[in-house]
């Protein structure tokens, strides 16, 4: 049976001296970028609204 390397190997990245699995690190980076982008959109939208 042939098994892809995706399921047999794992990759880790070192962040501040701690090993972290690559999918977890990618999810954390994605969440941080999404939060930053959401805050930027909120600030831009707040500036464009008409103040009563």
Residue 20's contacts (CB-CB under 8 Å, 6 or more residues apart) are 12, 13, 14, 28
Identify the pLDDT of residue 4: 65
pTM higher than 0.85: no
- pLDDT beyond 90 at 50: no
Identify the pLDDT of residue 36: 98
For the chain, how many structural domains are there in total? 1
Question: pLDDT tens-digit profile of 15-44?
Answer: 899 999 988 999 999 999 999 999 999 999
CA 18 distance to own-chain centroid: 18
Residue 37's contacts (CB-CB under 8 Å, 6 or more residues apart) are none
- pLDDT beyond 90 at 48: no
Identify the pLDDT of residue 52: 64
Range of the domain at 18: 5-48
């Amino acid at each position: 049976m042939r098994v892809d390397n995706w399921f047999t190997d794992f990759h880790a990245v070192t962040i501040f001296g701690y090993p972290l699995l690559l999918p977890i690190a990618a999810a954390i980076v994605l969440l941080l970028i999404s939060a930053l982008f959401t805050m930027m959109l909120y600030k831009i939208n707040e500036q464009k609204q008409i103040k009563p």
